[in-house]
Amino acid sequence: MVRAARAALDPGGPGSEITLRDVSHRFDLDGAPLPVLDHIDLHVARGEFVALLGPSGCGKSTLLRLVAGLEKPSSGEIFADGAPIAGPHPSRVVVFQDPTLFPWRHVFDNVALGLEAQGLLKSRRGRVDQTLRLVGLDNFAKAFPHQLSGGMSQRVALARALVNDPAVLILDEPLGKLDSLTRMTMQGEIVNLWRRAGFTVLLVTHDIEEALLMATRLIVLSDRPAMVKADIRVDKPYPRHRGDPDLVSRRREILGLLGLEASW
Amino acid sequence: MTSVSPATERLSSQAAERQPAQDDAGRAGAPARGWVSDSVLSVLAGSSWLLFAFITLHWPDLNDWGRGSEFSHAAILFGAALILAAGLGAVSERGAARLRRSTPWLLALGLFFSLWQAATAKFGLLPQPFFPPPHAILEVFLDDYPKLVESVIASIKLELFGFSLGACAGFVVGVLLGWSRGFGYWAHPIMRFIGPLPSIAWLPIAFFAFPSSWSASIFLIALTTGFPVAVLTWSGVASVNSAYYDVARTLGASPAFLVFKVAIPAALPQVFVGLFMGLGASFAVLVTAEMMGVKAGLGFYLQWAQGWASYANMYAALIVMSVMCSSMITLLFKARDRVLSYKKAEVQW
């Protein structure tokens, strides 16, 4: 436990490496077990940007919850920098599909949530302003969440995660509910933030194009219970372009893996 | 007991539906009229008060009631002021706008007082002494105000003590019910058993179980307030979006942080619904307790006035009581608007 905490606090670099060893997970549906993850082995290197793709309901988000420490796997082990994950830790922060900002807090206080919870707010107030500037919302520090648009809210959620200087940023379809223009902008922004800070990213998305534009590695999962179906490296330089013929052909390849080649 | 939660939702959805019926100022506004008809209405309102004064002064009373002339002189001044104010639109646009909102009501009140005066003091249409004329009630206010003030203070003290105690206890119990399964195991059955019981039913027992009728009344008011506050706080805490907890936990929140910085703020809108329900219910207990045992307060005043068959005193006490209760509800609304300032106001009181 002590070792785990020390390892998580001192990753020896900006990102963490995440290892899933033979991880299976079941939900209990009225006494009947529902297997969700089936013997997943996965190693994510420090600073990698990994996108998880898979059919709807296959267990991608569950996998993220396990890595975040919000739930414990039914069997198998998950390590962050070699130490087993025992629970949630601010070095591994999640951005959910819904911004889930606290409506009773100003934007500033929402972003400051993590520092406040860890008792660091007094010493690191400036970091909150800095992060708000980073996501372009420094003028909205005193606004309430209900006054923000969907894209702005998701930016606040992103700032709320980044202010903790996470070693792993866990993104659970963070752009899923945004309009396509905001989405394209934010795809670029997230990639830039990642390249600058160097943390490890785990991204769940249902959008293959998004995964190809952003990630260095794509993991394609099977139907529930999820198994790793394909592990694809994307070694293209950034910024990437939607029309890139190589990306287009990979998109087709992945659609095939997902059993959707007919829709091409 | 769980049925309370949908009822509250209905309450707030009704509140939301009512909103469009209100104008920008947030209150039901007077219908728009032209400048001339505004002035005419103002003159009419003034005349209605002059009419009241005329009836009171120049038509002998059937009986002997005091303060008729004082009331009439005040009405004359007021009526004259209203008639003069008809020309206010030319001087102050703002003052005229403010007056415009109330003139229909002032006219209606002037007519109502005139009718009341005629039906009681002049024609004796309404049975006496149950329906005293308006100036008899004024007489109570002018002559008996020390006792009325004393009663109001006693009532407010009792109500505030009982309500605060019940609200705090209900809040704590509600949070614990929503948060701790172990506490819920023991507290839930007790709540189900005792909660729905009307507090008044405890009255005979409370009055001998407690050292004084005053402390017994505090207990009863606290009990009445506490139950709805506990149930709604509980349902508020229990229905907090679990994603809020996930977010806070991944950011390093301790269990205490989850209770005080997530669950409670998220439940506050529900808590206020409980406070409103508790406050409304506690008024009934306050007055009953004062009538039955406490030798002070407006309820006691009512009881005492009834003993002397002085109905004017009873009406005076009712008016004071209504102002008192309404003010407390106003204060609670103000507190809610302050605490929940992040939300748009739902209902203007």
The per-residue pLDDT for range B47-103, each reduced to its tens digit, is 999 998 888 888 877 777 777 788 888 899 999 988 888 877 667 777 777 788 888
Looking at residue B94, what is its pLDDT?
A: 75
- B261 has a chain A CB within 8 A of its CB: yes
Interface touch B266/A102, C-beta < 8 Å = yes
**CA-based Rg of chain B, rounded to a whole angstrom?**
26
pLDDT of residue B77: 92
More confident site: B349 or A244: A244
Look up the ipTM and state it: 0.86
Domain A30-91+166-264 bears CATH identifier 3.40.30.10? no
Higher pLDDT, B12 or B318: B318
Q: What angle do CA A175, A116, B338 make, to 5 degrees?
A: 85
Q: Is A50 left (phi over 0), alpha (psi -120 to 50) or beta?
A: beta
DSSP 8-class letter at A140: G
State the smallest CA–CA distance between residue A251 and chain B in angstroms.
Answer: 32
Report yes or no: B253 at the A interface, CB cutoff 8 Å.
Answer: yes
Residue A159 and residue A134 in contact, taking contact as beta carbons nearer than 8 Å: yes
pLDDT for the residue numbered B207: 86
Residue A264 scores a pLDDT above 80:
no
User: Å from A185 to nearest chain B CA?
Assistant: 24
Q: Residue A114: its chain B contacts at CB < 8 A?
A: 251-252
Q: Both tokens of residue A217?
A: 């590695």
Q: How far apart are CA A172 and CA A166, in angstroms?
A: 15
More reliable by pLDDT, B343 or A97? A97
Decide if A254 contacts A232 (C-beta within 8 A).
yes
Residue B49 CA to residue B83 CA, distance in Å, equals 10
The amino acid occupying position B170 is: G
DSSP lists the bridge partners of residue A49 as A201
Taking the C-alpha atoms of residue B237 and residue B5, their distance in angstroms, rounded to an integer, is 12
Q: What pLDDT score does B32 carry?
A: 58
Q: What is the dihedral of CA A7, A10, A12, A14, to 10 degrees?
A: 120
Q: For residues A20 and A128, what is the distance between their CA atoms, to the nearest angstrom?
A: 33
The pairing of strands A83-84 and A92-95 is: unpaired
Contact B252 A146 (CB under 8 A): no
Alpha-carbon torsion angle A249, A251, A255, A260, nearest 10 = -80
**Residue B274 pLDDT > 90:** yes
The model's confidence at residue B223, banded by pLDDT at 50, 70 and 90, is very high
Q: Is the pLDDT of residue A33 over 50?
A: yes
What pLDDT is recorded for position B14? 40
Whether chain B has a CB inside 8 Å of the CB on A79: the answer is no
Kindly state the tokens that stand for A214.
């952003």
Burial A195-206 (b: 16+ CB within 10 A, else e): eebebbbbbbbe
Give me the residue from B244, B249, B343 closest to A70, CB to CB: B249
- Residues of B in Cβ contact (< 8 Å) with A98: 243
A88 touching B (Cβ < 8 Å) = yes
Q: Does an H or E element contain B327, and which?
A: helix B311-339
Q: DSSP code of B262? A: I
pLDDT score recorded for residue B21: 41
Task: Give the pLDDT band of residue B22 (cuts 50, 70, 90).
Answer: very low
Query: Is the pLDDT reported for residue B208 higher than 60?
Result: yes
pLDDT at res. B309? 83
**Which amino acid, A71?**
E
> Where does the pLDDT of residue B229 fall: very low under 50, low under 70, confident under 90, or very high at 90 and above?
very high
Tokens 């209770």 belong to B259
Q: With beta carbons under 8 A apart, name residues in chain A contacting B248.
A: 113, 117
Q: Does B247 touch chain A (CB under 8 A)?
A: yes
Residue B17 has a pLDDT of 40
Residue B344 has pLDDT above 70, yes or no: no
* pLDDT at residue B36 is higher than 80: no
Nearest to B238 by CA among B248, B246, B230, B226: B230
d(CA B115, CA A108): 61
Rounded to the nearest 10 degrees, how much is the dihedral formed by the CA atoms of B264, B268, B274, B279? 110
- Tokens representing B24 are 């920008």
pLDDT score for A226: 83
Mean pLDDT of A72-85: 89
- Least confident range of B2-6, B35-39, B190-194, B288-292: B2-6
Q: State which residue of chain A sits closest to B246, comparing Cα positions.
A: A70
Contacts with B, A 6-45, CB within 8 Å: none
Q: How many Å apart are CA A101 and CA A146, to the nearest integer?
A: 9
* A136 has pLDDT over 60: yes
Residue B270 pLDDT more than 90?
yes
Residue of B nearest to A105 (CA): B342
Q: In this predicted structure, what is the pLDDT of residue B30?
A: 55
Rounded to whole angstroms, how far apart are CA atoms A141 and A111? 9
Q: Answer yes or no: do B248 and A117 touch at CB < 8 A.
A: yes
Amino acid at A201: V
> CB of A135 within 8 A of CB of A196?
no
Hey, what are B163's tokens?
């309500």
- For residues A170 and B38, give the distance between their C-alpha atoms in angstroms, rounded to a whole number: 65
> Which of A92, A104, A144 has the CB atom closest to B250's CB atom?
A92
Q: Report chain A residues whose CB lies below 8 A from the CB of B342.
A: 103-105, 144, 146
Cβ contact (<8 Å) for A102 and B244?
Answer: yes
| Residue A160 contacts B, CB cutoff 8 Å | yes
Residue A106 above 80 pLDDT?
A: yes
Q: Give the closest of B243, B257, B343 to A98, CB-based.
A: B243
pLDDT at position B28, please? 54
Are B251 and A117 within 8 A, CB to CB?
yes
Q: Under 8 Å CB-to-CB from A210, ≥6 apart: which residues?
A: A51, A175, A183, A187
Q: Can you say whether the dihedral through the CA atoms of B291, B295, B299, B301 is positive or negative?
A: positive
Confidence of residue B141 (pLDDT cuts 50, 70, 90): confident
**Region B113-140: what's the mean pLDDT?**
85
Per-residue pLDDT band for B244 (boundaries 50, 70, 90) equals very high
Q: Which of A94, A121, A146 to mutate to test the interface with B (most CBs of B within 10 A)?
A: A94
Model confidence at B33: pLDDT above 70 = no
Give the closest residue to A70 by CA, choosing from B262, B176, B252. Answer: B252
Instruction: Answer yes or no: is pLDDT of B345 > 80.
Output: no
Domain boundaries in chain A? 30-91+166-264, 101-165
- Say yes or no: B291 contacts chain A, CB-CB below 8 A: no
Identify the residue among B240, B245, B246, B251 best suited for mutation to test binding to A, counting A beta carbons within 10 A and taking the highest.
B251
The lowest-confidence range among A211-225, B78-92, B169-183 is B78-92
pLDDT value at residue A176: 84
Sheet holding A32-44, edge to edge: A32-44, A18-29, A75-80, A83-84
DSSP string spanning B190-215? HHHHHTTS-GGGGHHHHHHHSSSHHH
> B208 and chain A: CB distance < 8 Å anywhere?
no
Task: Please say whether the beta carbons of A155 and A135 come within 8 A.
Answer: yes
Please report the DSSP string for B27-85 in residue order.
SPPPPP--HHHHHHHHHHHHHHHHHHHHHHHSS--SS--S-HHHHHHHHHHHHHHHHHG
What proportion of chain B, given as a percentage, has pLDDT over 70?
87
Query: Dihedral angle at the C-alpha atoms of A233, A237, A240, A245, nearest 10 degrees?
Result: -70
A161 to chain B: closest CA residue: B251
